[in-house]
A and B are shown apart, each in its own frame.
Chain A
Amino acid sequence: MTENPNDIEQAEERVPRRVIGTPPPGDEASALGAPVSTREPIKHEGVTYPDPDKARKAERIVALLFVVSFLAAVAFVASYVVFQVGTIDRTATSNLALGSSLTVALLSLAAGIVVWVRQIMPKYNLVQERHPMVSATDVRESVNDTFLQGANESGFVKYKLLRRTLLLAAAPLGLLPLVLLKDLGPLPGTSLRHTVWSKGRRLMVEGTKQPIRAADFNSPGGILSVVPEGHEEDLNALAKATLILIKFRPEELKPGTNINWTHDGIVAYSKICTHVGCPAALYEQTTHHILCPCHQSTFDAADGAKVIFGPAARPLPQLPIAVDGEGYLIAQSDFNVPVGPSFWERGDAEAEVRGKA
């Protein structure tokens, strides 16, 4: 469809007409090895060839850029050998040396080629014809006939039993890969409804892994990020069980907070946002806002962590806490509702809890 010879478009009037030896289309085959003897340059109109003097000047610019590119590439290799890594500053030096030499090598080569194309190669427009993409009618008819002939030869239409059992055979084969995916993971079961918190498990400070004596956590406006004892570095457990522990003046607490689950103004909420599970960790002690930095769901920590802004639909669940004989904070039990983001099987766990109470 593209065999038609290219036309060279007539250049615009204001452009000087020059004649050059552009090989005619179709002669490229000579590149494939047929020895070509000297021949006449084929003449085309409408081609502007650069002024020889300007082309010579451009050649020098291009050559300079190519040499710069060569030197930069050499500098890249030298930088690799000279600049070792091993500290932050040495890595910085190495990155700068390698990167800048690579940049110079690439950009000057690119610039050289552009100058070459623009200043040395001739300018002209070729015109090629387009043809509609659609095949000719007789071709389509022929393909259609072939298809019908083949379909009938195969007997696919005629032999019903063959056709139906083939479809029957194909159906499960397509499903086999899906079956194989079953062992990608266990089934959820009720695992999303529970965390590792249980009666008597101590609250530990995240990072220091120390238990928290209630008497020590005595500055109103204080917060701690808390992890469960025995699971301080168990990421699967932390993904559900991490807490944000807040110390209030007792009079600051509002009815939304379950006072029986607090100890001396200390309240523990799940740190896992009920929107999509980011740790809701920003706490403003003046407003008692807990803010999730991902999507800005805001919870009122003084009032049972109820939602006051943002996309989260449910409050952060509160963990019942108490102190043990040594005065350390412990959990009274697990959360009574699932923590973290909503899921299909979750249902309105809060309402169920209220119903039981």
Chain B
Amino acid sequence: MSLDSTPKAIAGPANFVDERIGAGNFLKRNLRKVFPDHWSFLLGEIALYSFVILLLTGTFLTFFFKPSMGEVVYNGSYEPLVGVRMSEAYASSLNISFDIRGGLLIRQIHHWAALLFVAGMMVHMLRVFFTGAYRKPRELNWIIGVLLLTLALLEGLTGYSLPDDLLSGAGLRITEGVAMSIPLVGTYITFFLFGGEYPGHDVISRFYSIHILLIPGILLALISAHLILMWVQKHTQMPGKGRTEQNVVGAPFYPSFMAKSGAYFLFTFGVLALLGTFAQINPIWLFGPYTPADISAGSQPDFYMGFLEGALRLMPAWEINFLGHTLALSVLIPALVPMGIIMTGLALYPFAEQWITGDRSEHHVADRPRNNPHRTSIGLAAIAFYGILWLLGANDWISAKFHISLYTTTVVGRWAIFIGPAIAYFVTYRICIGLQRGDQEVLHHGVESGVIKRLPNGEYIEVHVPPAEDIAAHVLGKKRIPAIEAAPDGEGIPPKGARGPLGRLRARLSQTYSADTDAISLDGHHDGADGHHADGHHAVNGAAPHAGVGAGADKESTRSIGH
């Protein structure tokens, strides 16, 4: 049985809307919009749906939360705190947790959703980075993404400070200490933020309006822009059969992508509900009310702030006094530099890469990470940098649980923060090259079939068969990494872009960045031809023409790897 005509219940309203806003034209274009299918393309939706759930659960919490630092004596259901003086904010958070049905569940889902919001953004961003999906024309969307991540960190900080418990107060105190260390205006910023001396009576209500109105509003606007740009520019696709820079291959929005996306929203919500049910998060009742006189061992921020915490812990005691002023480098450097390196680095990377490769063309087919080894290695080095700082943010627990001397963890961390990224870079680079060689092997020799054959001369061989067509196409999606023209012309004059110190640097970077990728040739001839060649791939490759830019890349294009 199938539908022959659109049911009245849908046709009626649809007609109403179309007659007023002409929705038909939009729907005609977009109902069957194509969305490429790859599991990693859904990672960004974790963040998107977490954000939706944050809005919903957060609204519920605002119905009961009182953003006030006025003092009350607690008289609620949580026995061990009855009779204790605390702020109204803390008392109402306890109230949400213990005296409102479902309040604890919603609070926990909200907090877990905050963690998954940031974690989802991070994995999504890594996917975009490693596949080169930030390249032209998507640089703007990449920058919006970096802004979103920065704002999400701020949103998290203002959010977990609200319950005014002892742990969140420790975070607030550190925030104050960092703000105060800013040269020239630090004390003023602090006094304006806290309404006078720390902790004052205003910061909770101020953070509240920032947390529930200002930042979510900006987030909402940027997320909308992010999605609209994605929609207009169409999604990137992984390399594969029939996939070119001029097309997009995938499932239609209606019905299949719509259903998948809806299911993924429910999965996200379901996993958050699962965590909210079975994993306790931020048990504020155990922390007690805030007082600047007390602190607990193991006072850590939420995970996304962990790298800043680690940076503060790593830093040696540097401080400069001059002319009656103090420059607290041991606070300023760790608070600003790692964040600056990571966020600025992210924002500038697409443009830096364009400058180095001289590549101004549009890219819609994603790179496999192995096929751009320098980019992938830079990414892994950044992950190592971030990861070491993050890990050191918990060095007291590492020390306590694994019985390593506390100072040892710090001192090791001080070295690891420089050495770790270098090692990560080198190892990743070798792995990428190794994987490329593996690809070459598959294309030139085929894959092991598991069939053992005896030759007339008695020799046993394992029969290699050509790889499946879709796999071959996927592998053959490898592109040459463009490089700028750097070789001197006939009169020994280097081209315009490669003159001067900056130009020479650019030329060198360009050579390095694009080197090695053609050394492992997928389409060239192979010396050790042994009769097991996979055939047919040249034809497939024809659909994905190389972006043949650059000079230095030609010379080695037929070099092959010995076996």
Q: A: which residues have CB within 8 A of B? A: 2-3, 6, 9, 12-13, 21, 25-26, 28-33, 35-39, 80, 83-88, 91, 94-96, 98-100, 102-103, 106-107, 109-111, 113-114, 116-117, 121, 124-130, 132-133, 181, 184-188, 191-192, 206, 225, 227, 233, 235-236, 238-240, 242, 271-272, 275-279, 281-282, 292-297, 307, 309-314, 340-348, 351
Contact call A91/B98, Cβ cutoff below 8 A: yes
Interface residues of B in 384-416 (CB under 8 A from A): 395-396, 406-407, 410
Contact call A312/B273, Cβ cutoff below 8 A: no
Given contacts A91-B77, A239-B197, A293-B396, whether A314 and B319 have CB atoms under 8 Å apart is yes
Return the 3 tightest CB-CB contacts between A and B, nearest first.
A276-B177, A99-B277, A33-B15
Contact call B194/A28, Cβ cutoff below 8 A: no
Given contacts A100-B277, A344-B182, A345-B325, whether A32 and B24 have CB atoms under 8 Å apart is yes
Query: Cβ of B214: which chain A residues have Cβ within 8 Å of it?
Result: none
A117 and chain B: residue at smallest CB distance: B259
Contact call A106/B266, Cβ cutoff below 8 A: yes
Contact call A186/B191, Cβ cutoff below 8 A: yes
Given contacts A21-B2, A188-B191, whether A29 and B28 have CB atoms under 8 Å apart is yes
Given contacts A117-B263, A277-B176, whether A309 and B407 have CB atoms under 8 Å apart is yes
A85 to B270, CA, bound (A): 23
A348 to B291, CA, bound (A): 29
Given contacts A99-B276, A106-B266, A294-B174, whether A2 and B102 have CB atoms under 8 Å apart is no
A271 to B293, CA, bound (A): 7
A278 to B170, CA, bound (A): 7
Query: Cβ of A36: which chain B residues have Cβ within 8 Å of it?
Result: 4-6
Distance to closest chain A CB from B322 (angstroms): 9
Query: Cβ of A124: which chain B residues have Cβ within 8 Å of it?
Result: 251
Distance to closest chain A CB from B475 (angstroms): 16
Q: Which of B29-37, B347-355, B372-380 contacts A (4 or more CB under 8 A)?
A: B29-37
Contact call A277/B186, Cβ cutoff below 8 A: no
Contact call B330/A107, Cβ cutoff below 8 A: no
A312 to B329, CA, bound (A): 10
With beta carbons under 8 angstroms apart, the residue of B33, B176, B233, B292 that contacts A238 is B292
Query: Cβ of A128: which chain B residues have Cβ within 8 Å of it?
Result: 33-34, 234, 247-248
Task: Please give 6 more A-B residue pairs, beta carbons under 8 A apart, in addition to A276-B174, A279-B294, A344-B184.
Answer: A33-B12, A99-B278, A100-B277, A113-B260, A239-B199, A311-B330
Q: Which of B296-304, B492-500, B502-510 contacts A (4 or more CB under 8 A)?
A: B296-304
Interface residues of B in 469-513 (CB under 8 A from A): 469-470
Distance to closest chain B CB from A189 (angstroms): 9
Q: Is B334 an interface residue (CB 8 A)?
A: yes
Given contacts A99-B105, A128-B247, whether A279 and B31 have CB atoms under 8 Å apart is no
Contact call B406/A29, Cβ cutoff below 8 A: no
Query: What are 19 A-B pairs at a CB distance below 8 A?
Result: A6-B32, A32-B11, A35-B5, A85-B77, A91-B97, A102-B273, A106-B269, A110-B270, A111-B263, A126-B251, A186-B191, A192-B197, A239-B199, A279-B294, A293-B296, A296-B395, A311-B314, A340-B177, A347-B326
Query: Cβ of A132: which chain B residues have Cβ within 8 Å of it?
Result: 362
Query: Cβ of B178: which chain A residues have Cβ within 8 Å of it?
Result: 276
Q: Per-position contact with A for B250-266: 1 when CB-CB < 8 Å, else 0? A: 11101110011011101
Given contacts A32-B23, A344-B187, whether A225 and B192 have CB atoms under 8 Å apart is no
Query: Cβ of A111: which chain B residues have Cβ within 8 Å of it?
Result: 263
Q: Is B27 an interface residue (CB 8 A)?
A: yes
With beta carbons under 8 angstroms apart, the residue of B193, B273, B296 that contacts A185 is B193
With beta carbons under 8 angstroms apart, the residue of A28, A130, A277 that contacts B173 is A277
A113 to B242, CA, bound (A): 29
Contact call A343/B186, Cβ cutoff below 8 A: yes
B85 and chain A: residue at smallest CB distance: A233
A329 to B318, CA, bound (A): 35
Contact call B293/A225, Cβ cutoff below 8 A: yes
Query: Cβ of B5: which chain A residues have Cβ within 8 Å of it?
Result: 30, 35-37
A3 to B170, CA, bound (A): 57
Distance to closest chain A CB from B265 (angstroms): 8
Query: Cβ of B182: which chain A residues have Cβ within 8 Å of it?
Result: 344
Distance to closest chain A CB from B96 (angstroms): 11
Distance to closest chain A CB from B47 (angstroms): 18
A242 to B15, CA, bound (A): 71
Contact-residue bracket for chain B: 35 or more
A127 to B249, CA, bound (A): 4
Q: Is B328 an interface residue (CB 8 A)?
A: yes
Query: Cβ of B128: which chain A residues have Cβ within 8 Å of it?
Result: none
Query: Cβ of B295: which chain A residues have Cβ within 8 Å of it?
Result: 278-279, 281, 292-294
A181 to B242, CA, bound (A): 58
With beta carbons under 8 angstroms apart, the residue of A106, A187, A238, A311 that contacts B315 is A311
Q: Which of A233, A236, A279, A311 has the most CB of B within 10 A?
A: A311
Query: Cβ of A30: which chain B residues have Cβ within 8 Å of it?
Result: 5-6
Contact call B291/A235, Cβ cutoff below 8 A: yes
Contact call A311/B316, Cβ cutoff below 8 A: yes
Given contacts A95-B104, A117-B260, A342-B328, whether A126 and B250 have CB atoms under 8 Å apart is yes
Q: Per-position contact with A for B302-325: 1 when CB-CB < 8 Å, else 0? A: 000000010011111111010111
Distance to closest chain A CB from B175 (angstroms): 9
Q: Which of A26, A192, A295 has the most CB of B within 10 A?
A: A295
A21 to B2, CA, bound (A): 10
A236 to B194, CA, bound (A): 11
With beta carbons under 8 angstroms apart, the residue of A31, A294, A295 that contacts B14 is A31
Contact call A87/B77, Cβ cutoff below 8 A: yes
B333 and chain A: residue at smallest CB distance: A311
Interface residues of B in 40-78 (CB under 8 A from A): 71, 77-78
Contact call B249/A9, Cβ cutoff below 8 A: yes
Contact call B252/A126, Cβ cutoff below 8 A: yes
Distance to closest chain A CB from B113 (angstroms): 13
Query: Cβ of A100: which chain B residues have Cβ within 8 Å of it?
Result: 277-278
Contact call B326/A343, Cβ cutoff below 8 A: yes
With beta carbons under 8 angstroms apart, the residue of A38, A110, A343 that contacts B266 is A110
Given contacts A33-B15, A127-B242, A181-B192, whether A344 and B326 have CB atoms under 8 Å apart is yes
Distance to closest chain A CB from B385 (angstroms): 19
Q: Which of B27, B102, B314 has the most CB of A within 10 A?
A: B102
Q: Which of A88, A106, A117, A344 has the most CB of B within 10 A?
A: A344
Contact call A126/B249, Cβ cutoff below 8 A: yes
Query: Cβ of A346: which chain B residues have Cβ within 8 Å of it?
Result: 325-326
Contact call A103/B277, Cβ cutoff below 8 A: yes
A129 to B28, CA, bound (A): 16
A282 to B399, CA, bound (A): 15
A278 to B470, CA, bound (A): 58
Given contacts A6-B34, A100-B277, A125-B251, whether A313 and B330 have CB atoms under 8 Å apart is yes
Contact call A343/B181, Cβ cutoff below 8 A: yes
Contact call B317/A307, Cβ cutoff below 8 A: yes
Query: Cβ of B328: which chain A residues have Cβ within 8 Å of it?
Result: 313, 341-343
Query: Cβ of B262: which chain A residues have Cβ within 8 Å of it?
Result: 113
Distance to closest chain B CB from A350 (angstroms): 9
Query: Cβ of A233: which chain B residues have Cβ within 8 Å of it?
Result: 71, 85
Given contacts A33-B6, A103-B274, A277-B173, whether A344 and B183 have CB atoms under 8 Å apart is yes
A117 to B260, CA, bound (A): 7
Q: Is B154 an interface residue (CB 8 A)?
A: no
Contact call A80/B102, Cβ cutoff below 8 A: yes
Q: Per-position contact with A for B158-186: 1 when CB-CB < 8 Å, else 0? A: 00000000000010011011101111111
Query: Cβ of B294: which chain A residues have Cβ within 8 Å of it?
Result: 206, 225, 279, 281
